[in-house]
């Protein structure tokens, strides 16, 4: 197969580059390559087969033989080939799709193994030896030859291990033998592992070992040894695997009796052109004694072992966190942010977890929940830029038995009865809010005056003869009953406020932060913000205990919830698995605390990336204490980091949840928790819905526009509404047109 000169030079440079990665210089490669090209009559596929195996073989053979096989730099009687092998310094390490036709083939040459399982020269399809310039292998070797041969042997090892790892010198991932359930998930909805209950095949988790029929015990003894050696070469430790039926070791010893030594450990990392990055741990076990343990049990056991070995670990240490950190490092190294990362990782760690951990630590020390961008410096700003990237690349994985991964008091399962076997889009589960970057949430204990707390109280404030100072916000009466429910009158008023906003007190900013973020130079007039009813819960400066009846939201989710696929076109939704009386706290809407400016920028970015935000404005106190500064006009966005609140679908007017602002750590109305309570009795398996309060005619909302499919007879955003809207518009403009159907979920 002939090649054009330009094409030939590109291929030659690639060959030189590939050899360089094996430690072979350009000077060593060039003459051999020229001869090989001649000999193969310009058939580059033979040279490139098996990642340039023939070329490498020929070079090693030549070194072992003490010089060119034919006694000179050129093939006898041939003119030197015109190969331009100058250094370009821009050799691509990873092939692009356009390179497909020139990609080194792995199919033409066949690796042969002799009866001792030693590799012999590859053969091309035509049966010719792939290293024809090589010496007679029967000749005795000199010390130089031995060195060259051992290098060659090393290279052969690398090539043989290619069966079990990605190619050594080209960073193109090879297809991996993965569990089909996982493949389904990765293909259909990146980042999830959905174990189908319907399938009879053994289910597996990401990072699970292959099922017994695929375990490396099926490879020959020779292969096994080779893999073991490969691990030892890399100085990788061996793992002990404890059978699942043995007693779980909770940090008191290794419980060895039943433990088998894992003979080898192989760590692979591969990326695909779609942006999926996969790391895998592989090791061999005796399948007859092995039962797959639960991933959580494995993580727990490793954490216990780490604790035993290192004695002291940070309180928020977790193997999952460590693995997330690994993903983050891959992303940062892979996206050439190494230098920034090296300084950041020591100080702030990875995006989500460490940021969250910092918030928690700060909270515990009574420091402001978050620092301003200027205080936190450039490290934080880079973090903010990178954590969404990390999300899109590392694709967080859902655990369908508990989407919160243990972050909540209760397990929240994922159910998809539609048969599509998909999972919700990936996001980081975070049970409480955390500042993204610039938002200013001042949480100073000193700012909580005696009128905002009850240091004199003891036990349960609700049982005290008189209401404490924390009830001041609700008119001197607690909003909660002794059963922990919001009082019906309170709920009804919140519902009515949402349903008939025009009948309730609204305030108008002089220059509204929302409008300012849209157009700083000449903001439009404020459209008004409802003066909402707040609940003020007791908190750390209060004398009561955690079981005090005036602490409901801060104790977290108590009822059994499930994320399910709502088939009517509304995407994923949230439902209760319990009967819930009116006034029950269901969950809060947790997310990143953003300034409106940040939200605006993100909304634009997300529109471009076809990723939409689900923000909630924290605007209930915007105009009460003068004009809020940009960094104080806040909102919550659960798109990338959030809790189950992000799954609550909208229902016009007769939704069964009411949203109530709840103050816990901050007495002002700038920052508060967005809490959902049942506004009526809800039966088990009923979908939980909330009226987003959307004005479906306002096309400037920072939320993805959608055609409402709530099914309520009071629906304000359904198809009929859109048709009416269109008719109105055509009456005004005099054009008859079709209704514009806005994109659903
Ligand atoms: C906060 S999310 C709710 C969870 C969402 N269904 C999901 O699958 O992630 C809001 C989005 O859900 C969809 N949605 C919520 N309520 C809806 C409704 N009544 N009709 C149609 N789509 C709805 C819209 O796409 C909306 O942008």
What confidence score (pLDDT) does residue 181 get?
36
Work out the mean pLDDT of the chain and round it to a whole number: 68
Average pLDDT estimate for 531-552: 96
pLDDT tens-digit map of 577-594 = 999 999 999 999 999 999
Percent of the chain past pLDDT 70, that is, above it, reads 56
Instruction: Say how many Å lie between the first and final Cα of the chain, rounded.
Output: 52
- CB of 719 within 6 A of ligand 1: the answer is no
Tokens of 484: 């922990």
Residue 195 lies in a domain: no
Our CA dihedral for 204, 352, 392, 333, rounded to 10 degrees, sits at -100
Atom of ligand 1 nearest to the CA of 692: 16
Query: For residue 207, what are the contacts with CB-CB under 8 A and spacing of at least 6?
Result: 280, 281, 295
Average pLDDT estimate for 218-228: 33
Looking at the structure of the chain, the number of domains it has is: 2
Percent of the chain past pLDDT 90, that is, above it, reads 27
Query: Does the pLDDT of residue 416 top 50, yes or no?
Result: yes
- CB of 422 within 6 A of ligand 1: the answer is no
Quickly state the pLDDT bin for 106 (edges 50, 70, 90): very low
Tokens of 704: 């993805």
What confidence score (pLDDT) does residue 251 get?
35
Residue 119 vs residue 583, higher pLDDT: 583
What confidence score (pLDDT) does residue 84 get?
57
Residue 39 lies in a domain: yes
Average pLDDT estimate for 464-482: 95
pLDDT tens-digit map of 351-375 = 232 333 334 333 433 333 333 333 3
Query: Does the pLDDT of residue 72 top 80, yes or no?
Result: no
DSSP summary character for residue 155: H
Atom of ligand 1 nearest to the CA of 711: 19
Among candidate residues 170, 195, 188, the one with its CA nearest the CA of residue 270: 170
User: From the CA of 743, how far away is ligand 1's center (Å)?
Assistant: 11
Query: Does the pLDDT of residue 175 top 50, yes or no?
Result: no
* CA 479-482-487 angle, 5° bins: 35
Backbone angles phi and psi of 487, in degrees to 5: -60, 140
Residue 32 lies in a domain: yes
Contact 167, 176 (CB under 8 A): no
- Tell me the longest C-alpha to C-alpha distance in the chain: 110
Query: Does the pLDDT of residue 80 top 50, yes or no?
Result: no
- Find the length of the chain: 745
CATH number at residue 41: 1.10.8
Contact 659, 674 (CB under 8 A): yes
- CB of 589 within 6 A of ligand 1: the answer is no
- CB of 226 within 6 A of ligand 1: the answer is no
User: From the CA of 574, how far away is ligand 1's center (Å)?
Assistant: 11
* CA dihedral sign, ordered 384, 664, 479, 505: negative
Whole-angstrom distance, CA of residue 146 vs CA of residue 56: 16
Atom of ligand 1 nearest to the CA of 745: 25
Our CA dihedral for 289, 291, 294, 300, rounded to 10 degrees, sits at -10
Q: Which of 35, 63, 91 is the last residue of a domain?
A: 63
Query: Does the pLDDT of residue 147 top 70, yes or no?
Result: no
Helix (H), strand (E) at residue 413: strand 413-415
pLDDT tens-digit map of 180-211 = 333 333 332 322 323 333 333 333 332 222 33
Q: How many CA atoms lie within 13 A of 530 on its CB side?
A: 21
Q: Which of 44, 63, 82 is the last residue of a domain?
A: 63
- CB of 556 within 6 A of ligand 1: the answer is no
- CB of 671 within 6 A of ligand 1: the answer is no
Predicted interface score ipTM higher than 0.95: yes
Atom of ligand 1 nearest to the CA of 425: 9
Residue 647 lies in a domain: yes
- CB of 565 within 6 A of ligand 1: the answer is no
Lowest mean pLDDT among 5-14, 143-152, 199-208, 695-704: 199-208
- CB of 745 within 6 A of ligand 1: the answer is yes
Whole-angstrom distance, CA of residue 671 vs CA of residue 593: 9
Quickly state the pLDDT bin for 313 (edges 50, 70, 90): low
Query: For residue 147, what are the contacts with CB-CB under 8 A and spacing of at least 6?
Result: 63
Atom of ligand 1 nearest to the CA of 650: 16
Query: Does the pLDDT of residue 312 top 90, yes or no?
Result: no
Residue 662 lies in a domain: yes
Q: Which of 24, 43, 63 is the last residue of a domain?
A: 63
User: From the CA of 569, how far away is ligand 1's center (Å)?
Assistant: 9
- CB of 691 within 6 A of ligand 1: the answer is no
Which of 429, 566, 649, when mutated, tests ligand 1's pocket best, judged by the most ligand atoms within 8 Å of its CB?
Answer: 649
Contact 595, 447 (CB under 8 A): no
Domain that holds residue 524: 413-728
Query: Does the pLDDT of residue 452 top 60, yes or no?
Result: yes
User: From the CA of 490, how far away is ligand 1's center (Å)?
Assistant: 27
Residue 291 lies in a domain: no
Contact 142, 66 (CB under 8 A): yes
Average pLDDT estimate for 564-586: 94
Contact 155, 60 (CB under 8 A): yes
Lowest mean pLDDT among 282-291, 574-583, 697-706: 697-706
- Strongest mean pLDDT among 167-181, 623-637, 655-669: 655-669
What confidence score (pLDDT) does residue 71 get?
41
Residue 555 vs residue 250, higher pLDDT: 555
User: From the CA of 193, how far away is ligand 1's center (Å)?
Assistant: 23
Query: Does the pLDDT of residue 608 top 70, yes or no?
Result: no
What is the model's pTM?
A: 0.53
Report residue 111 CA to chain centroid gap: 39
- CB of 744 within 6 A of ligand 1: the answer is yes
Please name the residue whose Cα sits nearest to atom 7 of ligand 1. 572
- CB of 677 within 6 A of ligand 1: the answer is no
CATH number at residue 584: 2.170.270.10
Residue 143 lies in a domain: no
Instruction: State the CB neighbour count (10 A cutoff) for residue 454.
Output: 24
Among candidate residues 139, 129, 195, 168, the one with its CA nearest the CA of residue 20: 168
- CB of 696 within 6 A of ligand 1: the answer is no
Query: Does the pLDDT of residue 294 top 70, yes or no?
Result: yes
Residue 242 lies in a domain: no
Query: For residue 300, what are the contacts with CB-CB under 8 A and spacing of at least 6?
Result: none
Strands 657-663 and 535-536, how do they pair? parallel
């Amino acid at each position: 197969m002939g090649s054009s000169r330009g094409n030939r030079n590109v291929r030659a440079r690639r060959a030189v580059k590939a050899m360089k990665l094996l430690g072979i210089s350009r000077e060593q490669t060039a003459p051999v390559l020229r001869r090989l090209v001649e000999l193969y009559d310009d058939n580059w596929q033979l040279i490139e087969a098996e990642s340039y195996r023939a070329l490498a073989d020929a070079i090693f053979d030549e070194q072992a033989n003490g010089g060119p096989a034919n006694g000179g730099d050129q093939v006898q009687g041939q003119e030197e080939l015109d190969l331009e092998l100058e250094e370009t310094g821009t050799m691509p390490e990873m092939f692009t799709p356009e390179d497909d036709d020139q990609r080194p083939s792995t199919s033409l040459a066949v690796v042969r193994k002799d009866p001792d399982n030693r590799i012999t020269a590859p053969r091309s399809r035509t049966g010719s030896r792939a290293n024809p310039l090589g010496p007679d292998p029967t000749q005795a070797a000199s010390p130089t030859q031995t060195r060259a041969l051992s290098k060659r042997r090393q290279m052969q090892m690398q090539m043989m291990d290619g069966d079990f790892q990605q190619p050594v010198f080209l960073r193109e991932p090879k297809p991996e033998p993965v569990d089909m359930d996982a493949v389904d998930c990765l293909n259909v909805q990146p980042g999830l592992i959905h174990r189908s209950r319907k399938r009879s095949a053994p289910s597996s988790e990401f990072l699970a070992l292959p099922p017994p029929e695929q375990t490396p015990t099926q490879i020959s003894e020779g292969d096994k040894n080779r893999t073991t050696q490969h691990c030892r070469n890399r100085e990788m430790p061996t793992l002990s695997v404890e059978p699942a039926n043995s007693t779980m070791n909770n940090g008191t010893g290794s419980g060895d009796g039943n433990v088998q030594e894992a003979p080898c450990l192989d760590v692979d990392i591969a990326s695909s052109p779609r942006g999926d990055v996969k790391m895998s741990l592989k090791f061999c076990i005796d399948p007859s004694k092995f039962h797959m343990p639960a991933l959580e049990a494995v993580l727990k056991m490793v954490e216990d072992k780490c604790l035993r070995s290192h004695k002291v670990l940070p309180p928020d240490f977790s193997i999952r966190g460590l693995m997330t950190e690994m993903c983050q490092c891959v992303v940062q190294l892979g996206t050439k942010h190494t230098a920034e990362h090296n300084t950041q990782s020591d100080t702030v760690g990875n995006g989500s977890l460490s940021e969250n951990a910092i918030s928690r630590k700060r909270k515990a020390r009574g420091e402001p929940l978050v620092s301003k961008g200027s205080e936190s410096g450039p490290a934080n700003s880079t973090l903010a830029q990178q954590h969404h990237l990390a999300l899109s690349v590392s694709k967080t994985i859902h655990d369908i038995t508990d989407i919160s991964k243990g972050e909540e008091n209760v397990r929240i399962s994922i159910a998809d009865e539609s048969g599509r076997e998909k999972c919700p889009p990936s996001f980081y589960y975070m049970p409480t809010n955390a500042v993204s970057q610039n938002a200013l949430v001042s949480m100073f204990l000193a700012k909580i005056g005696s009128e905002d707390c009850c240091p004199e109280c003891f036990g349960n404030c609700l049982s005290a003869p008189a209401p404490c100072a924390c009830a001041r916000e609700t008119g001197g009466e607690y909003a909660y009953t002794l059963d922990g429910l919001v009082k019906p009158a309170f709920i009804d008023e919140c519902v009515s406020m949402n349903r008939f906003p025009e009948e309730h007190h609204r305030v108008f900013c002089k220059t509204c932060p929302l409008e300012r973020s849209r157009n700083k130079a000449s903001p439009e007039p404020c459209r008004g913000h409802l003066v909402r009813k707040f609940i003020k819960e007791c908190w750390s400066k209060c004398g009561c205990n955690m079981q005090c009846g005036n602490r409901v939201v801060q104790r977290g989710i108590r009822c059994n919830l499930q994320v399910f696929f709502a088939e009517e076109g509304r995407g994923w939704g949230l439902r209760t698995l319990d009967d819930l009386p009116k006034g029950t706290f269901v969950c809060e809407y947790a997310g990143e605390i953003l300034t409106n400016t940040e939200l605006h920028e993100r909304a634009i970015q997300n529109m471009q990336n076809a990723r939409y935000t689900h923000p909630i404005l924290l605007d209930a106190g915007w105009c009460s204490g003068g004009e809020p500064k940009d960094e104080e006009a806040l909102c919550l966005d659960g798109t990338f980091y959030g809790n189950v609140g992000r799954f609550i679908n909208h229902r016009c007017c007769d939704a069964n949840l009411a949203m109530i602002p709840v103050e816990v750590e901050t007495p002002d109305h700038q920052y508060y928790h967005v809490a959902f309570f049942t506004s009526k009795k809800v039966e088990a398996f009923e979908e939980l819905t909330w009226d987003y309060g959307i004005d479906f005619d306002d096309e400037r909302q920072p939320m993805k526009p959608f055609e409402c499919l709530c099914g309520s007879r009071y629906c304000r955003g359904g198809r009929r509404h859109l048709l009416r809207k269109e008719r109105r518009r055509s009456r005004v403009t005099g054009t008859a047109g079709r209704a514009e159907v806005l994109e659903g979920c």
